[in-house]
Amino acid sequence: MSRLLLLFLTLNFLLIAPLWWRFGEISSYLLAWEALIIAPLMLLLPVGPTRRVVAVGVVSWVMLATVVNLGTAATQMAFARPLNLYLDVPLLRSIYHLLVGNVGQLLAVCAMLAGGLVVRHHTDFIAPAVAPVAYSVKRLPGMVALTLLVIATSSAVLELGGIRLVDSARLPMVNTTRFQWQQVTDTHAARLAFTAQLESAPMEARSLPGLAGRNVLLTFIESYGISALENPRYSDVLLPTLAEMQQRLGEHDLHVVSGMLASPIRGGQSWLAHATTLSGRWIDNQLWYRLMLDSDHTTLIDDFRATGQRTLSVMPAITLAWPEGEAYGFDEIAAAKDIAYAGPALNWVTMPDQFTLDYTQRYLLGEAPVFAQLALISSHAPWTPILPVLDNWSSIGDGRIFAPWESAGDPPEVLWQDIERIRDHYAWSVDYAVKVTGRWAERVVDDNTLMIVLGDHQAAPLITGDDASAAVPVHIISGDPELLMPFIKRGFVPGTLPTLEEASSAPRMSQLRHWLQTDFGELKVGLGTDSAAWIASEKREFSDSRTTTRTQQ
């Protein structure tokens, strides 16, 4: 009896515990029918080759289901989606490097080893219990085991048929296996469909004469999702910054309109958002990403090269080889090693955004018209330390000025023990990134520049909640208001605050390339009546706001 009870409790814990983590409650997940089937079954099977074969299969299945359920809980927390073995196994390398950046190499290695040891320990613990070398089942324990086997098997069959006899009982092994198999078959079919779509409906590279001779700066702000403007916890920090940004841009005779786009991902994998924007295709997983890059699919890089711009990618987060950059075909790529930064790394962040932007302006933009994609990273987890925006940009130099912040604030391993503090730091780090981007726009944007600032994705559900919109803010800035009129016609509004009520119906991020091809694919000369009227209106509103501000002071 003790062997039966021990085996059941061990198996049940392994199968149910990941559900506690994933769903955040215990009372609804107390019993795994599979544990109540396997335990008596293995005790009733006679010792011999058949038992050994069944034992190997059972142990392998239990451990695989446990690992997959833990992985699903982790991906749900990080990316607001379940684990997909077909797509996510290649991401293990990226997860390791993220851990290294957040907690250091030693702790990252220890975490990965600990996970492996836990799995190994439970395997070593279960195997002898499932398949002992020899034992005898006495009459009473044998009858109890047989009764439990019949009851559990019948209940499991009813559960599969949609009849739940026990509210807190589940079939985690069976459900996980069925779900992952369905994922594999669905993803494989979608892979074939996506490949066929790339071949049958290619997007041609198109020159954009409406942007010929212009600088176009596509600037991604890490984890800048619409929740930063909707959730009062974050909007209390961000909205005053956006209001100040709008006022300062106006004082520099710059115009800004704002809207929203839906990102293909949440919580991480920023490169999928970049790929979606550049390609004009909806790229929401790693497989689609690889297929797109391995094909002859064109991107905005090709469009702007055809228009006459030099193409540049500024990627301070890239610390390893980046063959994807070559696949995109940028004329120049500035990864972390290519940027002469002499300051300290700030946990995962290789260099602060203000340095990246200042360095780009001084050394990378050059004289010729350029299309530049910049991926800022200061608002990437772990969101510590929080830096101030330096008013004197000329003091930035080679970045050594940031040395005092290397050890400022709590380290990630301390901060991440308190979820409320994590959320505060998220707001402050996004506020820093938005503020420094706005200040940079004052320095680089003119009548000959179109700057597109957008978030890459929402932060993880830990920050935004499980049901948050996928929308991200988009700000379009230029000294030439005519360049902004196409976006006004597509629903963008003047100023730095988009219409938040429309977040649920935000167009997909992949639409941006289509808009640029449609709206700037023909040369348009002269200031239209709509543009002139809008400029006059915007100047009046700005003048009124300044008068109101002075009166209040």
**What is the signed CA dihedral for 99, 104, 110, 112, rounded to 10 degrees?**
20
Buried b or exposed e, range 95-109, using 16+ CB within 10 angstroms? beebbbbbbeeeebe
CA distance 329 to 373: 12
Question: Per DSSP, which regions of 336-448 are E strands?
Answer: 370-376
Amino acid at position 553, single letter? Q
Would you say the pTM of this structure is higher than 0.85?
Answer: no
| Residue 529 confidence (pLDDT) | 47
| Residue 125 confidence (pLDDT) | 53
Kind and range of the H or E element at 472? Answer: strand 471-478
* Listed residue (234, 188, 201, 184) closest to 426, CA to CA: 234
- Would you state the structure tokens that stand for residue 487, as one six-digit string? 């976006």
CA distance 264 to 460: 13
| Residue 550 confidence (pLDDT) | 32
| Residue 448 confidence (pLDDT) | 95
Residue by residue, DSSP assigns 188-204 as HHHHHHHHHHHHHSPPP
Amino acid at position 402, single letter? F
Q: Is 453 helix (H, G, I), strand (E, B) or coil?
A: strand
- Quick check: 383 and 443 in contact, CB under 8 A? no
Q: How far apart are the first and last CA of the chain?
A: 81
Q: How far is CA 471 from the centre of its chain?
A: 12
- Would you state the structure tokens that stand for residue 160, as one six-digit string? 């599969």
CA distance 400 to 162: 64
* Listed residue (468, 272, 286) closest to 375, CA to CA: 272
Amino acid at position 473, single letter? P
CA distance 293 to 71: 27
| Residue 480 confidence (pLDDT) | 95
Digitized pLDDT (tens) for each residue of the chain, 553 residues in all:
566 677 777 777 778 878 887 777 777 778 888 877 877 777 777 767 777 777 777 777 877 887 887 777 777 666 666 777 766 666 555 555 555 555 455 555 555 555 555 555 555 555 555 555 444 444 446 677 788 788 888 888 888 888 888 888 888 888 888 888 887 787 777 777 777 776 666 778 899 999 999 999 999 999 999 999 999 999 999 999 999 999 999 999 999 999 999 999 988 889 999 999 999 989 988 878 888 887 778 999 999 999 999 999 999 998 877 778 778 989 999 999 999 999 998 888 899 999 999 999 999 998 889 999 999 999 998 899 999 999 999 999 999 999 999 888 888 888 888 899 999 999 999 999 999 999 999 999 999 999 999 999 999 888 888 788 999 999 999 999 999 999 999 999 999 999 998 888 999 999 999 999 999 987 654 444 455 555 555 545 544 543 333 333 3
Name residue 216's beta-bridge partners: 371, 450
Ordered domains of the chain (ranges, CATH): 2-188 (no CATH), 213-485+526-552 (3.40.720.10)
CA distance 56 to 501: 55
- Would you state the structure tokens that stand for residue 450, as one six-digit string? 């179109």
